[in-house]
Chains A and B, each alone.
Chain A
C-alpha cells in the first residue's frame, strides 16, 4: 500500500512523516514517531487516553487519521512542560496524588489544559462534565477534580 507524505507541527516542531491512508494519528504518533506519551485505551474514542490538541481543539487521536494532520498544529503530552519545568496542571496532579496507575494521566492533563484555556475558573460541575470523556479506573476522580481546581487557582494567581 502506498504511503502518503504528511507535513505537520508537533509541539511546535515541524514534523514530516509517511503514513498509510488508514492509519490513525494515534498510531502514527506512537508507532511511527515514537511519541508514546499519548496512550491507547480503546481505539474507539470512548476513553480519552489518546487525547491531543489539534489547533488547540481537544480530540481523540484514535479518531483522527494521520493524513488529516496535514498542515495542522498538534499538541501532545510531551509538549505541555516547558523549559521552566512542569506545567502547573502537571504539578497539581502530582501534589494531589491525582494519578494511581497513570495511564489516563496524559489524556486528562491534555483535556484539563483545553478546559482551562477556555474557562480559567470552571466550577466543579463544569470540570466533571468536561472531563467525562476521559476514563480513569483508579481514582474515583475525586483527587483529579481537586487537582484541576487547584491548577485553575494557580494559573490565575501564580504562587
Chain B
C-alpha cells in the first residue's frame, strides 16, 4: 500500500483523453452507428399490466412491403434457469421472458413482438398490423395488494424462497431474508427512548439521458456482432448467449460510448431481439428505445414500504434496532432487498438488531440496479428515525451518529469486520463544516444524514502496451461512464512515472481484451484500476530486466525511478539511466515489444461512507421545496481524478434530491404509468439546484495500491433522508413518504395543522 502522498499526478484533474470527441459531437453513442444495408427494429408492447396472451397473429405484418422479419415469444428457445450474475439479481429464464413475453404479460409496456423493416415508419406500421388477443387479468400494483393473502398471482409457480420449509401455496412474495444479532427484546427493554417510523417510497427511474440502443449484424454462419450502449459488454454477451442459447464465441459485443446508466444498463433488453431480427433478415438491424419505452419497460428501482424501530439510552447509545422492509421487484423476482437489508444499520455498531426483508412481485417493470441498489430506500428510513431519536434525546444529530458510529474493527451487520473506514472522519468533518453552523434564513431547515455503500471488486483485465516512442496505451474492458479512462491514465502514469499526456486508455471489445465484469458496484477505478497498476508493474519488471541485460548486471541491481531504469546505488556509476522511451526504441533488440498484462478478481473493495448536509426552504403556500445549500462529504479512500470524484458526489446529490423531492412512478388503476416522459417524470434541472459543495475525505483502502475506494454509488444514499430531515426542521412536520412533492407537502402541513 502506497503511504506516500507526494503523488505526481494522482489527485490532479487533467482533461480526460476522450474529452475532445465528446464536446465536438464525434463520440459515438449507442444510437450513433449506421451500417450499410441497415434496417430498423421496433418492439410491440403490451397495453395491459397483467394479461394472458391467447393468440398472436403476425401474418399481416410479415406480408407488408419493406418488412423483413417479425418475432415473438414462440420464436425464442426455452432458456434454462440460473443466476444472471453480475450486479443485477434474477434468473436467466425470467430475463428471457422479460425481454419478450411468452404466455403472459406482466406490466404495461412488456414486449410481445418485434419487427424489422426498411424504415422506422414502416416498422411502426407493421407493429400496428400485429394482432394480439389478450385475456386481461387483475393487476397487482403495490406491496400491500401483492402481499395480501388473496392477491391475484403474477406467477402460479412462485413459492417464497428462504423459508425454513417450502410454503404450501404460491404467492407474490418471491423471497424473504433475515439478518439478526443479539436479543432485540432485551435491547428495547434497556432503552430509555424508542422511536418508530413507517416509510413508503414509490418506484423511481435511473433517468439516464441516452435511451437504450444497439445495432446487431449477423452473418450466414450465425455469428453476430452487436454494438450497444452498455455498462458491461462481456456480461451483455453472456446474457444474450443464455437467452438465445448461443455460444459466446459466436457473439462479439462492442461497447459504444454510454450516455449514462446508473445501474440501468447492466441488463439486456434490445440486444437479443436485434440479434434474432438480424439473423432472420440477414442485414444489420438498429434498435432504439423511445423515452417512453425506457420509462415503461426498463428497470426502475423498487418502490418500498419500510418500518423501523430504534431504542437508545439517554446518552444516545443505541440498544436495539429492528426493520421490516418490502421491496417491489416488478414483474420478476430480484429486488435489491438483500443489499437494502445489509446496508440499513451498516454505519452503526449495534449489539442487537433484526431485519426482515421481502422481495415482492407486482405488475410493474422488472427493477434493475440503480446506484447503491436498495440502500437509499432503507437508509432513508433509518436516518429519518435517527433524526427523530436525536430530537427526543435533545441531542445533536451528528453527535448521536458519532456515539454509535462503526469504525475499524466493528463487525458489520452483514458479517465481516470493517477494515479502516472513514465514517467518523466524515462525521467530524461535517460537524466542523461551516455549512453545519452558519445561520439559516427564516423558514428554512437543515438536515443531516449518513450514507453508505459496500462497493464491489469482481473480475477485471488490463493490458498495457508501450509504443515505439515510449507512449503508453492502456486497454481495458469497462465502458467509461464518467471519466474512468482519465483515472486509468492517471494510475498508469503514476505507476510508470511518465507524464499523464503520454498515456491513452481505450475500451476493448469482447474479442480484443480480457474479460471484465460490468462498470458497476463502484468497482471500475478500484478493481480495473488495480489491474492497470499491476499491468504497469509487469511493464516495469520487463524494463528492469531489459536494462539489466543491456548493462550486463543483475535485475535486482536495476531500480525503476521517475519513469526510467537506473542502476542501484553502488552499481557501476557510469551507467546512464534508460527511460521508457529509450527501452521502447530498443525493444526489437532486447526481446520484442513491451506488453504488460494483469487479470484479477479484486478483493477488499473498501466501503465508502458519507455525510450530507441539506438546507431546504418550504413554500407553505405552494408546497414547493427549494434547495438552498447542499454539502456532500465522503470518504473516497484516495481520489484519483479529483474533479470526477467531486462530480460523482455532486451528481449523486442531485439524483438523490430529485428522488426525495419530485421523482416517482405514477400509475392509474389499470397499471398504466401516467408520467412516462421527462415533462412529467421531472428530474432536477439546472434552476432547481444550487452549487453543490463537496469535501473529499481520504482514508486509504488498504486493499488498493493507491488506496482507492469506489465512490460512485454512496453519493445517492444520504440525500433522501438529509432532505426529509431538513423539511422536518423547516416545517416541524415529519413527512415519512417520498417524494416530498408539493401536493404531499401541502397535505402533510394541513394534516398537522401548521
Contacts and interface: CB of A to CB of B under 8 A. Distances in A.
Contact of B24 (A44, A78, A124, A136): A78
B685 A132 contact: yes
Contact of B25 (A36, A94, A101, A133): A36
Given A94-B16, A137-B683, A141-B686, A37 B25 contact: yes
B25 A128 contact: no
B209 A104 contact: yes
Contacts of A136: 209, 686
Interface in B25-43: 25-29, 31-32, 34
A105 interface: yes
B210 A101 contact: yes
A127 B686 contact: yes
Nearest to B656: A140
A102 B24 contact: no
A143 B689 CA distance: 12
Most buried by B among A38, A99, A132: A99
A24 B200 CA distance: 41
Interface in A47-83: 47, 49, 76-78, 80-81
A131 B652 CA distance: 20
A137 B24 contact: no
Contacts of B688: 132
Nearest to A90: B23
Most buried by B among A27, A38, A97, A132: A97
A76 B13 CA distance: 29
Interface stretch (B258-266, B275-283, B321-329, B616-624): B258-266
Given A49-B209, A100-B647, A141-B689, A135 B25 contact: no
B651 A139 contact: yes
B651 A140 contact: yes
A142 to B, nearest CB: 5
A95 interface: yes
Given A86-B20, A143-B650, A101 B258 contact: yes
Contacts of A76: 25
A134 B481 CA distance: 19
A44 to B, nearest CB: 6
B64 interface: no
Interface string A92-113: 0111110111111110010000
A139 B647 contact: yes
Contacts of B29: 36, 39, 103
B266 to A, nearest CB: 15
A46 interface: yes
A128 B686 contact: yes
B436 interface: no
A38 B25 contact: yes
B482 A39 contact: no
Most buried by B among A27, A106, A139: A139
A102 B683 contact: no
Interface residues of B, number: 60
A140 to B, nearest CB: 3
Contact of B34 (A34, A105, A106): A34
B651 A128 contact: no
Contacts of B80: none
Given A41-B211, A94-B23, A142-B650, A20 B121 contact: yes
Given A30-B31, A109-B23, A137 B686 contact: no
Nearest to A34: B34
A94 B20 contact: yes
A106 B25 contact: yes
Contacts of B481: 100-101
B257 A137 contact: no
A134 to B, nearest CB: 7
A22 interface: yes
A104 B210 CA distance: 8
A31 interface: yes
Contacts of A144: 686
B655 interface: yes
Given A41-B291, A135-B683, A140 B208 contact: no
A159 interface: no
Nearest to A129: B687
A138 B644 contact: no
Interface in B240-288: 257-262, 288
A44 B678 contact: yes
A23 to B, nearest CB: 8
B259 to A, nearest CB: 3
B482 A101 contact: yes
A31 B641 CA distance: 36
A82 B18 CA distance: 19
B373 interface: no
Most buried by A among B121, B261, B653, B687: B687
A28 B26 CA distance: 17
A10 interface: no
Contacts of A22: 121
Nearest to A102: B22
Nearest to A49: B209
Contact of A135 (B13, B20, B209): B209
B45 to A, nearest CB: 16
A77 B25 contact: yes
Nearest to B484: A100
B450 to A, nearest CB: 20
A101 B256 CA distance: 12
A143 B643 CA distance: 9
Contacts of B120: 27, 31
Q: Which 3 A-B pairs have the closest CB atoms?
A: A37-B25, A103-B259, A140-B654
24 contacts: A27-B120, A30-B31, A36-B31, A39-B29, A40-B31, A41-B259, A42-B678, A46-B677, A46-B678, A78-B25, A86-B24, A97-B13, A100-B644, A100-B647, A101-B208, A101-B259, A101-B261, A101-B481, A125-B687, A131-B687, A135-B209, A138-B647, A143-B646, A143-B647
